[in-house]
Structure 1
């Protein structure tokens, strides 16, 4: 049984009393499924974050159903790339960390405070990252103090960087970022922002074999969240299906005209 002493950090309690419950793995990196690709962008009312559904293990598709974007609290979401099982555990632990802080302190951490907590968790994974078990998150949320959406990226050492406008991580990030640069506009509404996020993943999947595009056969769509002053909301699959079909129809039409 874990005895919780004073202090708002659940992670500190685990480190002190039950380090065996922290996310860890002894499996070789080559035999572990890896998750890619995550995109996030700001728009007029907040932010959008989207992740594809594919996990790979070398040149093999390990899963077509993995979810890589998680709601961490009412006003924030996190997307993960890297060693899939370890990354998902860290995302879940991060959510518990924020819940614990709120219960102990009676108030919610600022968005920057949440980002710093996540940076600390990534930093504690550095030893495994150096062995190939890296986890790289993308964190975003609505800053109620500033009245806008904000994005934060990280490196494997726990380095924290605030991004402007949009960002992407994972093996398909280079291709997704190219699409974001062309399609992003500061005055976009939520409908357009969701379309841009899905289209960026579509472009990434076109050039990166580790990224899965919308699958109309299996009815698999990206996981997409919006975060506004009203909170975090997962975009419904019928909406994503319609957006994906629109992209496919437009590109098919352009290909036939060419």
Structure 2
């Protein structure tokens, strides 16, 4: 069972998004409605190679506060994993991760937009998943290959992160803990649109870790989900189903 904790506005896009998620079996009871804000929106430009540039207005998401966090604790207390993207107030995201520290087996935090005060919150996360740009902003290390990704991951561990996962898009992913180091190469797919690839990766990683899979296995499952997402245009419509990720893994291992 998957739940969505967010805030939307009283407008068509917010209602449609909640309805679409509900149809997919996602619990949307903790999506609050804010009549004084617009629903968050991202304007995404995609080039001929499928790479994207995103300009976002977070809208109602930034209205999420401690009161809404308290209301969402019902779902959080019974959950196996928490996935945060920091597209709401940083203090609320950190409080959510801290609240779940005693009862959750895995907490996955993707940096999303990096802000000047973001570094102080990552020690509460079990896992963070920055892409090359985010990793560079957080660590000062320009990520261009596996060696530089390894250096960035080590720097993130030194900041107090338990597991650092540096995503390199078409070049794969590198992950590190205090005792493990893994590089997972990319899956060979025909890229159409890279929008939401990171979201699909984060979702796959969170699911796999909540199932107590080993880190390397979880990375492969997450990479399969991310790879499938780039084969379709759009964001929500590009999210792969679990059986699709399993099929890609099976075909690759065959």
TM over 0.5: no
TM-score normalized by the length of structure 2: 0.30
Higher helix share: 2
Is the radius of gyration larger for structure 1 or structure 2?
1
Question: Which structure's relative contact order is higher, taking Cα pairs within 8 Å and 6+ residues apart?
Answer: 1
TM-score normalized by the length of structure 1: 0.30
Higher strand share: 1
